[in-house]
Chain A
Amino acid sequence: MKKLVLFIPLVIFLVMGVFLYKGLFLNPQKLDSALEGKPIPAFQLERLESANEMITNEQLKGKVSLLNVWATWCPSCKYEHPFLVMLKRQNILPIYGINYRDERVPALEELKRQGDPYHINIFDKDGRLGLDLGVYGAPESFIVDHKGIIRYRYAGPIDQRIWSETLYPMIKQLQDEAAKDGAA
């Protein structure tokens, strides 16, 4: 019994060791989204292409979709852009753009030059929608289900790897759910 007591420090050391070792592999830049499971925040914003057309959160419902926050000032968005254009061609789901804290003219020019992957582009000039979405940088992407509920947030540029490992399986599952709902 007395001998066992001597092992207590070793046990404490091992527990702390495991705890800290795990900490080494966490990415402190990746924050959990507080919005997963909540609906898209209500908004009414201009469409990027024309100041006269208003887009509201209601228009994003109905289909499983990808909500992509982007801007011309964001280098990672430029890296991500060709992949989104390719996704659009595959026609798997609508991609909605949120042009975040940007200028209209350069944003439109950029889309003309690099291709436009977006189904609808929302012009979030002063970043209010971004704020409501808990966006802290760009690019960030949200997977939204057919009821308009945010199911997943990914911070950082989407590439082939994150797409096929994480996003696509989740989208597939949500689309199956949506199909079941549609049938019922």
Chain B
Amino acid sequence: MSKLVKIIAGLVLLCSMVTAAMATPVDTYEFKSVENQKRGLALANELRCPQCQNQNLIDSNSPVARDLRLEVFKMVDEGKNDDEIIEFMTSRYGEFVLYKPKMESKTYILWLGPVALLLFGLLIGFVFVRKQRINGNSAAELSAEDQQALDALLKRDTK
């Protein structure tokens, strides 16, 4: 009996959590089509709220984010393409609002830095391994005495 109660309680909790997660503040806007809705939401997800800064336009409750979100949705319904909408945002709030910054001289270090670090790491690794291998080979040469002792040990083992 108590098990059943627990299961039901669990289900209720799960349902409430799912609906809470889905309760984005977007509900008020009606898109002209499902494709527009998908594109609008995707765009708003990629744009940063200039006020709260660590949230995108969908997650944020700030009035600025609400305005910008609706502006983006309207532009999608008007048939503007992604580049035009991003241009609208960056001309007002700067590159900052893009979670994916454009590739340009200012952002080379962002885009290429990790690749450069990886290559540098691989280079160091490669040099290190090569060095180890060369050292390893030279250490394998034994002196005549050592060789004799080794032979003696091996013969004893085979007996």
Query: In the complex, are the beta carbons of B92 and A34 less than 8 A apart?
Result: yes
Verify if A55 is at the interface (C-beta below 8 Å from B): no
Verify if A28 is at the interface (C-beta below 8 Å from B): yes
Query: How many A-B contacts are there with CB distance less than 8 Å?
Result: 37
Verify if B71 is at the interface (C-beta below 8 Å from A): yes
Known: A31-B50, A136-B51. A127 touches B91 (CB 8 A): no
Residues of the B chain whose Cβ atoms lie less than 8 Å from the Cβ of A136: 50-51, 64, 93
Most B CB within 10 A of own CB, among A31, A135, A136: A136
Residues of the B chain whose Cβ atoms lie less than 8 Å from the Cβ of A29: 53
Query: In the complex, are the beta carbons of B91 and A131 less than 8 A apart?
Result: no
Verify if A49 is at the interface (C-beta below 8 Å from B): no
**Could you give, for residues 94-132 of chain A, a 1 whenever the CB lies within 8 Å of some chain B CB and a 0 otherwise?**
000000010000000000000000000000000100011
**Chain A residues bordering chain B, tally (CB within 8 A):** 16
- Among candidates B50, B67, B92, B94, residue contacting A127 with C-beta atoms closer than 8 Å: B67
- B121, chain A: closest CB distance, angstroms: 11
Give bound CA distance, A32 to B106, whole Å.
14
**Could you give, for residues 99-120 of chain B, a 1 whenever the CB lies within 8 Å of some chain A CB and a 0 otherwise?**
0000000000000000000000
Residues of the A chain whose Cβ atoms lie less than 8 Å from the Cβ of B67: 127, 131
Verify if B136 is at the interface (C-beta below 8 Å from A): no
Identify the closest chain A residue to B68 (Cβ). A131
- A90, chain B: closest CB distance, angstroms: 32
Identify the closest chain A residue to B71 (Cβ). A131
Query: In the complex, are the beta carbons of B64 and A35 less than 8 A apart?
Result: no
Give bound CA distance, A68 to B65, whole Å.
21
Verify if B96 is at the interface (C-beta below 8 Å from A): yes
Verify if A33 is at the interface (C-beta below 8 Å from B): yes
Give bound CA distance, A39 to B110, whole Å.
31
25 example contacts (A-B, Cβ-Cβ < 8 A) are as follows: A28-B53, A31-B93, A31-B96, A32-B94, A32-B96, A33-B94, A34-B91, A34-B93, A35-B91, A101-B63, A127-B63, A131-B67, A131-B68, A131-B71, A131-B92, A133-B92, A134-B50, A134-B93, A134-B94, A135-B64, A136-B50, A136-B64, A136-B93, A137-B51, A137-B64
The 5 residue pairs across chains A and B that have the minimum distance between CB atoms: A136-B50, A134-B92, A34-B94, A136-B51, A134-B93
